[in-house]
Amino acid sequence: MVLLVCISCSKSDNDVEIIEENETEETPVDVPVVVGESPTFNAGEDPKPDGKVWEKVENLSDEFDANSLNTEKWASRVSSWIGRPPAMFKDEAISFKSGELLITNYMLDAAETLNGNTYTHAGGLIRSINQATPGMYFECKMKANKTFMSSTFWLINNRNEGAGCDKRTTELDIQECVGEVTTDATWAKDFYNGMHSNTHSRNKSCDETNEGSIGNSIVADIAYEDYHIYAAWWKSPTEILFFLDGKLLKTVNPAEDFTLPMYCRLVTETYDWNPAPADGGLTGSFEDRTTKYDWVRTWKLIEN
């Protein structure tokens, strides 16, 4: 039995919210069954309704077979977020090899100070140019890095694109993990293995908008030892289904309706709750410091 813990790794500030949930059985990872051009599901796990089929959303999908970023689909970094100290986002952390997108964490040659913050480490951020909408299914084949820095796959809206009560933040974390846990906090002791997913509603403009973080952690295989397929179906504004290696793990009902278009992000960063080791934490090999993204695929349902 494992204790499920909801961890808010906020992308706009350094706050960490912890919400305890009910206990659940540890979920074994099965071998995925891939049939034709469709998402990766184990046999009997495909949640599509009768009369519907999956169609790939090409502008939110990428096999990363090129030697550079497809700028019609992706961009590196965002002007409003340079990274949480002590790590900043650097294009030099991003590379391509053997049909994979690589983000490799490293130490800066010299500390940099921006906006009153000091940065000593480098990670990377890739964001989608195009928006995702309710009903879509998102999956990513990824191998995490072995450092104290994160390996992630998630979605978030642009608050400044909203107006009225839609000027708020919604965030869908499909997978967040670290390779090395440096904190003594009990809730984080398993953050290097399994799947850690969350939904966040925050930065509201209207009193009637609900805020909160609701999600789960599933303890399974150590994330940096092998590739895994992390996925979520944004089934409706009120229901998110999370999948690991083709198996349904959890259904989550966000604190507020997820109606706003969101952008996909692939990020390695530092968390304030998981501080850098005394030696900087990035003394390992290129392989150890690298998060590998084999592919990202997005799907929508259409009539059969």
Give the model confidence (pLDDT) of 248-264 as tens digits.
999 999 999 999 999 99
Q: Is the pTM of this model over 0.75?
A: yes
Give the model confidence (pLDDT) of 101-144 as tens digits.
999 999 999 999 999 999 999 999 999 999 999 999 999 999 99
Domain of 156? Answer: 5-25+36-303
Please indicate, yes or no, if residue 42 is contained in any of the structural domains.
yes
Residues labelled catalytic? 171, 176
Q: How many domains does the chain have?
A: 1
Please indicate, yes or no, if residue 279 is contained in any of the structural domains.
yes
CATH number at residue 196: 2.60.120.200
Please indicate, yes or no, if residue 156 is contained in any of the structural domains.
yes
Please indicate, yes or no, if residue 296 is contained in any of the structural domains.
yes
DSSP characters for the chain? -B--EEE---SSSS---EEE---BPPPPPPPPB--SSS--B-TT---PPTTEEEEE-GGG-B---SSS--TTTEEE-BTTB--STTEEE-GGGEEEETTEEEEE-EEEEEEEEETTEEEEEEEEEEEEEEEE-TT-EEEEEEE--SSSSEEEEEEE--GGG--GGG-SEEEEEEEEEESS-----GGGTTTTEEEEEEEEEES-SSTTS--EEEEEEEEEEEGGGS-EEEEEEEEETTEEEEEETTEEEEEE--SS---S-EEEEEEE---TTSPPPTT-S--S-TTTTEEEEEEEEEEEEEE-
Please indicate, yes or no, if residue 31 is contained in any of the structural domains.
no
pLDDT surpasses 90 at 25: no
Please indicate, yes or no, if residue 252 is contained in any of the structural domains.
yes
Please indicate, yes or no, if residue 179 is contained in any of the structural domains.
yes
Please indicate, yes or no, if residue 52 is contained in any of the structural domains.
yes
